[in-house]
Each structure stands twice: as structure tokens, then as C-alpha cells.
């Protein structure tokens, strides 16, 4: 974008185009592997920090509404992770210290580890069994040359966070179909202490 003042009608097509091109590079097979592992997991744990963490928390809410036992790592009601459980981490860089620690602990507990990231070579990527790579820039990633990252007009890791949310919403739709869950059934599990 130029330094001239832009209107919203000029920027939203850029955003949609970036998201579209990034999603076109996502492996449908990798998504299906993640969905199958979510179905098989005894308990699902999710973790992320910053804006990625907010997106992951939205996904945890939908998993609960699907009737799956889901916990946000670090919350007071999160139990011990064990064999048969799955930890899903959303991390653009794959290097955030507390997330690396969670990944190491999950692997030590013999839980499965899934990662959605931009980093094809990071500490968490090396531990994960299930990896979904998003070709988007993030300022914290030290290995930008390992993926042909799409350039973005949006600041920092915004494109990664947007695509992370769409991937997880897509997983919800696939899970609804495979678990034969309806929106009405999910809404019955929606929080009612509002």
C-alpha cells in the first residue's frame, strides 16, 4: 500500500486476497489428520499466546459445544495431560518459551502433539506429530526462508492469526459432520450463565 490515506473499501480486498492465497496452500490431508486425532483424543488441550492464544480459546469453546472434553492450558480447571490426550498449539514462530515447555511436557506424558505454525523448523515443530504449516509472515519467526511466506500488507502476524482461525473453524465444520452434531445440539451446550 502507498503512504496515501486509504479507505476501508481499498484495504478489505487486500485482506481477503491474502487469506485466500494463504488458505490455498494448506494441506487438506493435514487438516483431516488433525480432525481424526481430535475425535480420538480422550482429552483435548489447547495452548497459544497473544492473539494466537485468543483464537485457540475460541476453538476450545467450539470443542466444548461439540461435546468434546477440552481444556485451555493454564486455566484452573485444566487436569494433567496423559497418554491418549492431545495438545494442540497455535504458534506462528514455534519458539515461545512457555509453549515449548508445554510441548515437552505433553510428549513426556506420551500425549499426542499437534501444531499449527509458520515455522517448518522450530523446537515445537521438531516435537509435533501433527503439523499444519501456514505460509504467512510473523516477526518472531527466525526461519522465514524455510517456507515461501506470502508477503502481507497487514502488520506483524495478523495473516497467520486470521488463517489459524479459519482453519480451526473449518475443523469445527468437519467435526460436526463426522460426529453428526447439529448446531441445535451445540447450542444446548452453550453457556447459559450469561
CATH classification of the domain holding 78? 3.40.50.10490
What b/e sequence results for 51-75 when a residue is b if at least 16 CB atoms lie within 10 Å of its CB, and e otherwise?
A: bbbebbeebbebbbbbebebbbbee
* Distance in angstroms (rounded) separating the CA atoms of residues 13 and 169: 21
> Count of CB atoms within 10 A of residue 23's CB?
15
* Distance in angstroms (rounded) separating the CA atoms of residues 76 and 184: 29
- Catalytic (active site) residue 180: no
Using one digit for the tens of pLDDT, what is the confidence trace for 161-185?
888 999 999 999 999 888 888 777 7
Point out the catalytic residue in the list 18, 161, 180, 181. 161
* Distance in angstroms (rounded) separating the CA atoms of residues 158 and 156: 6
What pLDDT shows up at residue 192? Answer: 67
Tally of domains within the chain:
1
pLDDT at 2 over 70: no
Using one digit for the tens of pLDDT, what is the confidence trace for 105-140?
999 999 999 999 988 889 999 999 999 998 876 666
Helix (H) or strand (E) holding 188: helix 183-188
Task: State which residues form the domain around 45.
Answer: 27-184
With cell 485457540, the residue in question is 56
What pLDDT shows up at residue 155? Answer: 55
Residue 7 lies in a domain: no
- The model carries a pTM of 0.86
Residue 1 lies in a domain: no
Amino acid at each position: 500500500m502507498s503512504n496515501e490515506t486509504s479507505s476501508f473499501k481499498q484495504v478489505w480486498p487486500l485482506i481477503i486476497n491474502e487469506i485466500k492465497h494463504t488458505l490455498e496452500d494448506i494441506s487438506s490431508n493435514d487438516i483431516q489428520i488433525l480432525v481424526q486425532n481430535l475425535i480420538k483424543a480422550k482429552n483435548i488441550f489447547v495452548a497459544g499466546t497473544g492473539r494466537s492464544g485468543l483464537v485457540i480459546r475460541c476453538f476450545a469453546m467450539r470443542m466444548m459445544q461439540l461435546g468434546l472434553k477440552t481444556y485451555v492450558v493454564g486455566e484452573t480447571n485444566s487436569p494433567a495431560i496423559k497418554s491418549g490426550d492431545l495438545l494442540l498449539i497455535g504458534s506462528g514462530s514455534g519458539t515461545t518459551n512457555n509453549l515449548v515447555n508445554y510441548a515437552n511436557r505433553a510428549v513426556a506424558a506420551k500425549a499426542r502433539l499437534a501444531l499449527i505454525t509458520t515455522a517448518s523448523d522450530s523446537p515445537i515443530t521438531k516435537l509435533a506429530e501433527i503439523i499444519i504449516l501456514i505460509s504467512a509472515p510473523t516477526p518472531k519467526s527466525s526461519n522465514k526462508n524455510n517456507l515461501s511466506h506470502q508477503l502481507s500488507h497487514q502488520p506483524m502476524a495478523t495473516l497467520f492469526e486470521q488463517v489459524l482461525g479459519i482453519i480451526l473453524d473449518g475443523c469445527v465444520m468437519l467435526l460436526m459432520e463426522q460426529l453428526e452434531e447439529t448446531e441445535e445440539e451445540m447450542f444446548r451446550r452453550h453457556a447459559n450463565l450469561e
